[in-house]
Homo-oligomer: A and B are copies of this chain.
Amino acid sequence: MDKQIGVGLLGMGVVGGAVARVISEKSNHITNLTNASVEILGVLVRDRRKKRSFDMPCNKYVSSVDDILDNDDIDIVVELMGGEHPALECILGALNRGKHVVTANKEVISKHGPRIFDVAREKNVRVLFEASVAGGTPIISPLMRDLTANDVVSIKAIINGTTNYILSNMATHKREFSDVLEEAQVLGYAESDPYNDIEGLDAAYKLSILSTLAFRTPVIDSDVYREGISRLVPEDFQYADELGYSIKLLGIATRDEGKVQARVHPVLVPADDSLAKVSGVLNAIEVETDLCEKVVFQGPGAGPMPTSSAVIADIVNISRSVKEESSFPDPVRLEDEVIIQPISDLVSRYYIRLEVGDLPGVLAQIASILGEKAISISTVVQKRADGRNGTAELVIMTHLSKEQDVQLAIKEIECLESLASIGNVIRVSN
């Protein structure tokens, strides 16, 4: 062993604590892997005296990021603060000072990845971010390295454990969204402010990162069409089940020639599809390519220990290179810019649930609107008649239709006097 690799940690929450603990407990192993001694030389924290799950010697804690960025003995800055600012500035600051960066920050990589990769290339340092998607489940490195000879056709992914837990629970126990969400918060599977998870922002960040790497073109968070799960009701799960489907919040990205489409929304997934069987907080990413058909990566999408596994793998990989004192092969090379296809261009099948007046002729009116828009009906079932309100529930499954036409049809149906409400419109996986 002839070298020390200095690591600076930005943030010492549950993930930072786990990273510090594993580096300490597995130091012999990490030395074997890197031929170097990997040492945490500084930890940026807001409060030095806060009680933590893993304690570093007090003299390692610093309260200014410059104490990390200006420390010449620190080779790798590990950013675990989360959020867009000041994480972005810290990452750029580290790269600009010639330090390598490891980050778990999906928001920053999603929004600013291409710029960050450019700075890293310019400074001949590396930025790795395996932990930013799917926690401990390897997907960034397999996409960039193991599937490098492939042209990726599509990605279909369950990349938000919170919503998958909620949907699994709603499906199994036929419970209301708000009840399950509350329980998930108590169990620690959902945050006290669950907005980013349940409205699909978290999944959109991750999908944009995967799309950028898979399609080798910049896809940022705002390129991703997004719908959350809060409109789903137990009846949707029941009817989906009867029709042979599960409901999942999927991130789906496709590339067709120069066009990329990326979207996060609830999807009816055939019950025998491997993604339908991924339950609870698990993540799973299905990558379809020209050479490999479909490859699936499944595992824990969050949690301090799995996330530390990904962060330390990145640290080890950089340490090996630092040790070699070679220049760094450019890890993220974005080849071309593509057109982002709007959701209105989507062609999909649709599940449409409508609450209608229980009157003769209603179905004819609806079928006529759909027909005019060239939306062909596959099945229609009257699910429930409520004598008191004089309403009934219609569940319509369409054949492949254009999203734009479906949205126009829904607008027209909304104007029908016989309509009580649009229950839900959910896209169906092909």
Chain A residues packing against B (C-beta within 8 Å) = 22, 26, 29-30, 32-33, 35, 130, 136-138, 141-142, 145-150, 274, 277, 289-300, 305-306, 308-310, 312-313, 316-317, 320, 323-327, 329, 333, 335
CB neighbours (8 Å) of A137 from chain B are: 292, 295
Complex Cα distance A309/B291, Å? 6
Query: How many identical chains are in the complex?
Result: 2
Q: Closest Cβ of chain B: how far from A155's Cβ, in Å?
A: 14
CB neighbours (8 Å) of A320 from chain B are: 329
Q: Judge whether B296 and A299 touch: CB under 8 Å.
A: yes
Nearest 4 CB-CB pairings of A with B: A326-B326, A138-B146, A295-B299, A149-B312
* Set B277, B306, B324, B329: member contacting A327, Cβ < 8 A: B324
CB neighbours (8 Å) of A294 from chain B are: 299-300
Complex Cα distance A316/B298, Å? 25
A150, A277, A292, A308 pick with most chain B CB within 10 angstroms = A292
Q: Closest Cβ of chain B: how far from A306's Cβ, in Å?
A: 5
Complex Cα distance A329/B35, Å? 9
Q: Judge whether A22 and B299 touch: CB under 8 Å.
A: no
| Chain B minimum-CB-distance residue to A297 | B297
Complex Cα distance A316/B26, Å? 31
Q: Closest Cβ of chain B: how far from A322's Cβ, in Å?
A: 11
CB neighbours (8 Å) of A305 from chain B are: 290-292
Complex Cα distance A296/B325, Å? 34
Q: Judge whether B26 and A149 touch: CB under 8 Å.
A: yes
Q: Closest Cβ of chain B: how far from A20's Cβ, in Å?
A: 13
CB neighbours (8 Å) of A32 from chain B are: 333, 335
Q: Closest Cβ of chain B: how far from A289's Cβ, in Å?
A: 7
